[in-house]
Chain A
């Protein structure tokens, strides 16, 4: 079974068409990268797949592990195994990471008919994933993303991904705002959490640099709301060298 099948997807934001017939198939075990110039519809792709309000699907279909993804609410998509890594993780004052993540993890488990994690089990898991991303556990006791640097926010996204253990991660510009060390740590985190025969990743990025750490199996160029070119990892290098205009 394929992991994700997007067919001729069309979507608008505030009545403005952004995606104009995007098609893409992702199989388990694969890592795909979508690259493209500003305004191509990269972030919109992530938000539409995540189910963000305000992003209206006007045509096409998306099947995620045999389910009609577009019929699911955002939290149901999460419970089905989808994780959306935000380009700009949201600050939520007053809500601590551990509290929110434990509730989120258990809500997902409940949605799948599994037993909830106890406080102890959850903390053990959170510590393990925080260590993987070289994040101080104390930071996870703080309010969600409040006062975090850009790099810390992105690492915290990866910690969340580790804890929630999704089947498909859609990572929207996880590399933006990262210094070289943080980039490497995040890249290694993605590999360690998501490189598995039953999992898949869709990386959305401007640049080649993250792909040095997370080697994609397929690279797609998104322009004008649809995929205009697909290829192997060499396509990313070609883009880096020659620019989007020349290649796509």
Chain B
């Protein structure tokens, strides 16, 4: 068992936007160790729809040539933190597709540290955040490429959509690269729903809430595309989006 015993503060970079009080109610957080052995493949879906505070810390090690497909949907909790540390050995592959959907005073965060430790490993992270009301959504993501981890191919695509001007999105993509031959791409954007697109959909008969839900569904679609259990993820996300646009109106 690995426990960090001291409750972090907001001075700690990885907890800068956390709801420390809520975190205190579930602290200490037990690290969930996952090892995917050489050449094997594993998939995991983390779906948090409950209302209570949740903090999880996944520590994933992918051995030579191992593959992991991780999908995260955080929607319900007043405070929801999913921390993911991944270590990739030679030729390993890691895929993260995540959606955070929040309203009211919810604080949701995904904090990743993806370490490329061996040759030719690939990682891809797609994180979509939809925020209404006074919600806060955060993505802190670091890609670390160790010395000698040449042939690394790492991607981060991070987008947040604000349904109300009172919501807050934080995004901090980071790269730490100590190898020479590395492909690392990251994109990060925060925006609002396209008013023209909404009017177009409404002019065809969709009520405003449905038009918004449809556009948001498209916005998060990439996060779950091709996932094992994609249908269940989509269904849960769509139900949550429908609730979000109702509260946001």
Contact = CB atoms under 8 A, between A and B. Distances in A.
Interface in B170-196: 194-196
A103 B206 contact: yes
B203 A84 contact: yes
B199 A52 contact: yes
B218 A89 contact: no
Contacts of A52: 199, 203
Contacts of A73: 202, 207-208
Given A95-B214, A100-B214, A90 B205 contact: no
| Contact-size category for A | 20 to 34
B15 interface: no
B65 to A, nearest CB: 33
A75 B211 CA distance: 10
A158 interface: no
Contacts of B199: 50, 52-53, 74, 90
A192 B35 CA distance: 64
Contacts of A100: 201, 204, 206, 214
A90 B196 contact: yes
B148 interface: no
A174 interface: no
Given A52-B199, A92-B200, A164 B205 contact: yes
A94 interface: yes
A232 B157 CA distance: 57
Nearest to A84: B203
A92 B216 CA distance: 11
Given A92-B197, A92-B215, A94-B218, A74 B203 contact: yes
Contacts of A99: 214
A106 to B, nearest CB: 9
B167 to A, nearest CB: 21
A79 B206 CA distance: 9
B219 interface: yes
B206 A104 contact: yes
Interface string A78-92: 110000101001111
A126 B122 CA distance: 42
A101 B204 contact: yes
B69 interface: no
Nearest to B196: A90
A103 B217 CA distance: 13
A93 B219 CA distance: 8
A108 interface: yes
Contact of B205 (A51, A53, A107): A107
B59 interface: no
B210 interface: yes
A75 B215 contact: no
B38 interface: no
A102 B194 CA distance: 21
A90 B204 contact: no
B242 interface: no
Interface string A187-221: 00000000000000000000000000000000000
Interface in B205-249: 205-208, 210-211, 214-215, 217-219, 221-222
Contacts of B222: 94
B12 to A, nearest CB: 36
Nearest to A107: B205
A135 B210 CA distance: 27
A103 B214 CA distance: 9
A128 to B, nearest CB: 18
Nearest to A86: B200
Given A74-B199, A90-B197, A107-B210, A164 B204 contact: yes
Contacts of A104: 201, 204-206
A111 interface: yes
Contacts of B210: 103, 107
A62 to B, nearest CB: 16
19 contacts: A75-B205, A75-B206, A78-B203, A79-B205, A86-B203, A89-B200, A90-B199, A92-B197, A92-B215, A94-B221, A94-B222, A99-B214, A100-B201, A103-B206, A104-B206, A105-B205, A107-B206, A164-B204, A164-B205
Given A75-B208, A78-B205, A100-B206, 5 more contacts: A52-B199, A53-B195, A86-B200, A95-B218, A107-B210
Interface of B: 194-197, 199-208, 210-211, 214-215, 217-219, 221-222
